[in-house]
Amino acid sequence: MVILGQGYVGLPVSMRAVQVGFDVVGFDVAKEKVDRLRGGQTYIDDITDAEVAEALATGRFTPTADPDDLAGFDIAVISVPTPLRDGAPDLSYIESATATVAPHVRPGCCVILESTTYPGTTEEIVVPKLESVSGLRAGPDFHVGFSPERINPGDKVYRLENTPKIVSGVDEASLNAVAEFFGALVEKVVPVSGTREAELAKLLENTFRHVNIALVNELAVYCHDLGIDVWSVIDAAASKPFGFMKFTPGPGVGGHCLPIDPSYLSWQVRRTLGRNFRFVDIANDVNDHMPDYVADRTTAHLNGKRKSVNGSNILLIGLAYKPNSGDARESPAIAVANRLADLGARLRAVDPLIPADHVPAGITLVAGTEADVAAADLVVVLTDHDDIDWPLLEAHAEKVLDTRNRLRSPAVDRL
């Protein structure tokens, strides 16, 4: 089998497939990734060097950037990025991956799209390309399906194998083929009636989170203005055992899903129905402005000490988009840092997980020692990694803006 794309989604699928006994060709156009994998090195949080080395040692994992190595596959999984470009979905990676695999399609094989996208992509983009190049028909001659990724980087509880996997196909035989494959990798598969339903289910999952995070983010702004402790309000509401799910505020949303996936849904509604998907548009507006709000609160703190942002020493705690991950994609912490840098702040940051080459220019990574804390005019908590020395911050930070509700000392002002 082949897996096109060896990133945050494709590489865990490759490793799991090798573990359960598949011969896996891990294809990626980025030669530097392929070279690292061939050398037994990982580049994502959820896969270790040891796991890559173990996969290589089986003789059943072949990292490659050569499309010819895809020949003869039985199963192909497309796990490539789907970013937004000027507010519209960029399907170029899906199109390129489909074109790469299409010459090797043969009777009885199965092609599965995992990349998050808008409803209709599998049948309107992937299938026609596979059919036109191969001369075969999807359904009668070969299988095609969609199975959205549910990778949650940094999650130690829900991993690929114990997270239910939605599966779908362009016909019943295709559904069965997709279900059989992923049924070998995960504990539970969830069949749905068609690829469009599966594509939309993925967007619903992330839109649900995006909208609810926006709700509590806006609530946090109002509570601050009213002198109400939003964290106390949320904890009180969460005591209800039914009809409520706890979400917490923060400096914004980030990663490969929430800042992007709901906009796919909004874009398609505008394109096909001529109207806006209002919940998504409102949530985007709220969450996109949270870094500005955090920068404004930072300015207010410094003004209260008769200091300006320009020239102040600000220590940022966490730069990744979520705790216990080194992933900085679309990180709201980076957005906050950029806004403060534009205002002339001197920025240092503590993040034990983020790679140094992912840190923007103008930010100096430090260890987070007592001296680092003492030198700061203000400490701003943006990402609450467990590996941060929180007791040290409690003991020595004279002024803290905590956007994650991690600290409790009298010096702390929470979002």
Catalytic residue among 109, 110, 223, 257: 257
**Taking a C-beta distance cutoff of 8 angstroms, is the pair 325, 153 a contact?**
yes
* Distant-in-sequence contacts of 295-302, Cβ < 8 A, 24+ apart: 295/336, 295/339, 295/340, 295/343, 297/224, 297/401, 297/413, 297/415, 298/336, 298/340, 298/378, 298/380, 298/401, 299/343, 301/378, 301/399, 301/401, 301/413, 302/377, 302/378
**Taking a C-beta distance cutoff of 8 angstroms, is the pair 202, 268 a contact?**
no
What is 360-413 written as a DSSP string?
A: PTTEEE----HHHHHT-SEEEE----TTS-HHHHHHH-SSEEESSS---STTEE
Strand ranges for 305-344 from DSSP E: 313-317
**Taking a C-beta distance cutoff of 8 angstroms, is the pair 393, 372 a contact?**
no
Sheet with 24-27: list strands edge to edge: 61-64, 24-27, 2-4, 75-78, 110-113, 143-146, 165-169, 189-191
* Distant-in-sequence contacts of 34-37, Cβ < 8 A, 24+ apart: 34/6, 34/63, 34/64, 34/65, 37/6, 37/11, 37/63
Tell me the C-alpha distance between 19 and 76, whole Å. Answer: 17
Reduce the DSSP state of residue 341 to 3 states and report it: helix
Rg (CA), the chain: 23
Tell me, what DSSP letter sits at residue 322?
S
Q: Reply yes or no on whether 257 is catalytic.
A: yes
Tell me the C-alpha distance between 333 and 251, whole Å. Answer: 7
Query: Of how many residues is the chain composed?
Result: 415
Strand ranges for 147-206 from DSSP E: 165-169, 189-191
Residues catalogued as catalytic: 257
